[in-house]
A and B are shown apart, each in its own frame.
Chain A
Amino acid sequence: MGESTQEAIERLLAEGLDQYGMGQVAQAVRLWRQVLSLDPGNTEAREYLETAGDEAGPAEAAPQASPAADHDGTAALLEAGLGCLRDDDAEGALELLETLEKRDPDGLEVHGYIEMVRSRLLKQYRERFGSGQRVPVPRMPAEQMLKFNLPAEAGFLLSLVDGRTSIEDLISVCGMDEFRVLRILSQMLAAGIVELES
C-alpha cells in the first residue's frame, strides 16, 4: 500500500531529525522544507527550521496544490516534487515522486518525471564520484552505523564496501543498477558512513 501524505510528512520529519542529529544540517533543512511543501502550516517543521536557523521562506515560494481538487494529496506531492526540481533539489524531488509511484505504479506522468530526475541525478553522481576506479571505505564502526535508518539494500551494499573494491566493481558484483549503487553511496557519503579513496 502506498504512503499517505501524512505518513510522508512524518517520515520526512523523522529523517530530518536523524540528519540534524548527525550534524547534516543542510540535509535536515531540505527534508523539513519538503514537509512544508506538503503541509505549509506544519508547525513542527517550522520550529525545526527555526532551530536550524532557516526562516522557512521557501515554503511560501513552493508551488501550491489546490486542496479542493486533491483529496489524497497526490497533486500536492507532485507539485512538491516538481518544486524541489525547480529548486535544483533532484534528490528531494525523486523521494517525493517515488512516494507517488508507490501509490500508483502505472502512472505514466510520474514515471516520466522519475526517469528525468534519475537521469539528472545519475549525471550528478558521476560527476561527484569521478572515475569508477575510486574506492569507498567504511568510515565508522558497525555499531555506530546502527543509528541510521538504512534499507536492507544499503546494508547489503555496505557489506561489500571493504576498502579494496572500486565503485565500478561494486556495481558489477552487487546486482543493482549503476543508479541505485551511486544513489546509496551518495547518501552514505553524505551521512559520513563511508568516504572515498582516490
Chain B
Amino acid sequence: MSRVIGIDLGTTNSCVAVVENGQPSVIPNAGGYKTTPSMFAISQDGKRLVGHLAKRQAITNARNTVYAAKRLIGRRFDAPEVQKAIDLCPYEIVRGPNDDPRLRISGKTFTTPEISGIILREMKRVAEEYLGEPVSEAVITVPAHFNDAQRQSTKDAGKIAGLEVLRIINEPTAAALAYGFGRKPQGEKVVVYDLGGGTFDVSILEIGEGVLEVLATGGNTFLGGEDFDRRIVTHLLERFEESEGIDLRSDSMALQRLKDAAEKAKCDLSARTTTEINLPFIASDASGPRHLSLELSRDTLEQQVGDIVSSTMKAVEQCLQDAQLGPGDVDQVILVGGQTRMPLVQATVAEYFGKRPNKGVNPDEVVAIGAALQGEALLSEEQNLLLLDVTPLSLGIATYGGHFAKLIERNTTVPVRKAHIFTTTRDDQTAVKIRVLQGESDVAAENDLLGEFILSGIRSARKGEPEIEVSFDIDANGIVSVSARDLSTGKEQSITVNATGTLSEEEIQKIIEENELYEVQLKE
C-alpha cells in the first residue's frame, strides 16, 4: 500500500511529511532543507526552476519569478487581494478567460493552480526520492479562511501534480492535530498563531478526545516574515548609503544579496543578541570594490519591526471576540511559521495571553506533520481522528433587491447541510436564477460569487406562492454543493459549485499533458 503524504502548501515555503512506523516526520529535500520555497521561475536561459534555485534568483530575475501564488489562487481577477498583488508583485498578472488571475512569465501564461501544482509536484518528488517509491495520495493544507473556490483550486493543483487529494484540511487544524499527537487533550481551547513568510493567520480551536473544532479564524493575507526582511533590507540600504555614499536600491544583484543576508540575520537574531552582516564586493566604483560589513542587534531589529508584531495582535483580539472568548479562556497557544521563532513575537504573544506559548512543536513543520497524521488516519480502518472544521465565510444566495440571504453563518462546523424556502418575485414566474455567494456583506454584490444556476419548470402561479427549497451542503473538505427544488413539482437542479476561476477537467488534463511533455523534454 503506497503511503499518504501530508503537504503544507505555504505562501512562502512548503513542507512535506509522512508517517513511518507510526511516527510522523518531515522529509528533507536534496539540499537537506526541511522546507522548500514556494517559488517557480523561468530562468534567463529558459530553464524551469523550483524551490531554492528559484528563490536565489528571485530578485535578479524578478519579472520571471512567481512567489506567493497562494494569495491569488481561487480568486477573481477583480478581487482586492489580486489588485493589491498586481501593485506589489514584479511578475505580470493578467485577466484570464474565466475572470481569474493568470501569471505571465517569460512569455508563457500560467493559471494559479498550475503554479501551485508545480510546487506540489516538487514536494511529491522530494517525498518519492526519500521514500524510494511512487507517491500518489496526499492531504494538503489550506488557510482556515480559504473559501470554496480557493479550496477547489488547491485540489485542482494537487491533480495537476499527479496527486489524489484525499482531504483538504485547515492549517490550524493540522497544527492542532500535530500538537495533540501522543497526548489526550480534553476540551482544551487552543489558539494557533501562524506567522508565516507571507501571511498571518490566527485560529481558535477546541480539542477534545479525537475531535478538533475550529471556533473562529482571522488574519491578514499580506503580512508575514517577508515584511520583516524588507525592513531589515531598508535599514541596511540606509546604513550603506550613509557610510559609502552609494545607493543600492536599483542594483538588483546587491538587493538579492541584501535580501538573503536580511533573512539570515533575522534567523540569527532569534538565537543571539547581535549578528554580523558581511557582504564583500557588494558594489564597486572608480576607487575599487566596496564591502558591506556591519553589526545588527536584536534591539535594532525589534525597533524596526515592532509595529508589525503589534498589528498581528489586533487580528488575535478580533478572533477571540468572534469565538466569544477572552485571553484568559485560552489553554494553549501554538506558534506556527518560522517567524514565530523571533523572541519579540513570543514575548508579545505570551504577554497578551498571560502564558508562554507551547514549545512542543516545531513551527516550520507542525502543519505538514498534522497533514501527514490526517492522511494516516484516513487510511486507517479505525478512523480515530475526527476533524470538525468550520466554514470561514457565510454562505447564501442573492435575493430580490440585491440582498444577500445567508443560509450558513460563518464559523459553522462542517460538514453541514442547511436548507431554506424561497419563492418567486413575479406572477407566473417559471424559472429562478440561484446565485451562490460567500461573504459577510448584506449587499449581494459585495460578496464572492461562487457559482450560479437556473431552476426552470416552476409551477406557474402568483408571485410568492411557489415554494423553492434551496439546500447547501458543505463536505469535510469545505467544498460546497447547492441544490434548488420546487416543492410542488419536485423539479430539482443542483451544482457542485464550480466557482469562477477554477479549472475544467479538460483544462486540468491539458496542463498535466503539457507538464508531462515538459518532463520528457527535461530528460533529453
B47 and A152 contacting across the interface, CB-CB below 8 Å: no
Given the complex of chains A and B, what is the CA–CA distance between A146 and B282 in angstroms? 11
Binary interface encoding of chain A residues 128-167 relative to chain B, with 1 for a CB under 8 A from any of its CBs, else 0: 0000000000000010011011111111101110001100
CB distance from A47 to the nearest CB of B (A): 24
Does B318 sit at the interface, judged by CB under 8 A?
no
Does A53 sit at the interface, judged by CB under 8 A?
no
Q: How many A-B residue pairs have CB under 8 A?
A: 74
A152 and B254 contacting across the interface, CB-CB below 8 Å: yes
B45 and A178 contacting across the interface, CB-CB below 8 Å: yes
CB distance from B65 to the nearest CB of A (A): 10
Given the complex of chains A and B, what is the CA–CA distance between A109 and B243 in angstroms? 42
A146 and B291 contacting across the interface, CB-CB below 8 Å: yes
A156 and B257 contacting across the interface, CB-CB below 8 Å: yes
Q: B residues within 8 A CB of A156?
A: 60, 253-254, 256-257, 281
Summarize A's interface: helix, strand, loop or mixed: helix
Binary interface encoding of chain B residues 281-295 relative to chain A, with 1 for a CB under 8 A from any of its CBs, else 0: 111100011010000
Does B435 sit at the interface, judged by CB under 8 A?
no
Give the contact-size bracket for chain A.
20 to 34
Given the complex of chains A and B, what is the CA–CA distance between A151 and B285 in angstroms? 9
Q: Of the listed stretches B49-57, B160-168, B195-203, name the one at the interface; the rest are far from the partner chain.
A: B49-57
Q: B residues within 8 A CB of A154?
A: 281
Does B43 sit at the interface, judged by CB under 8 A?
yes
A172: which of B43, B254, B279, B289 is its contact (CB, 8 Å)? B43
- Given A146-B280, A146-B291, A173-B57, A153–B253 Cβ distance below 8 Å? yes
B289: which of A142, A151, A159 is its contact (CB, 8 Å)? A151
Binary interface encoding of chain B residues 251-273 relative to chain A, with 1 for a CB under 8 A from any of its CBs, else 0: 11110110010000000000000
B282: which of A155, A172, A174 is its contact (CB, 8 Å)? A155
Give the contact-size bracket for chain B.
20 to 34
A151: which of B254, B281, B291 is its contact (CB, 8 Å)? B281
CB distance from B45 to the nearest CB of A (A): 6
CB distance from B252 to the nearest CB of A (A): 8
A-B residue pairs, 8 tightest by C-beta:
A155-B281, A175-B60, A173-B57, A172-B43, A156-B253, A173-B56, A150-B281, A172-B47
Known A-B contacts: A172-B57, A174-B60. Give 12 more (CB < 8 A).
Answer: A142-B280, A145-B281, A150-B289, A152-B253, A152-B281, A156-B256, A156-B281, A158-B281, A159-B279, A164-B31, A172-B43, A172-B45
Q: Please, could you name 9 A-B residue pairs with CB atoms under 8 Å apart, sorted by A? A: A150-B280, A151-B281, A152-B254, A156-B253, A164-B31, A172-B44, A172-B47, A175-B60, A175-B61
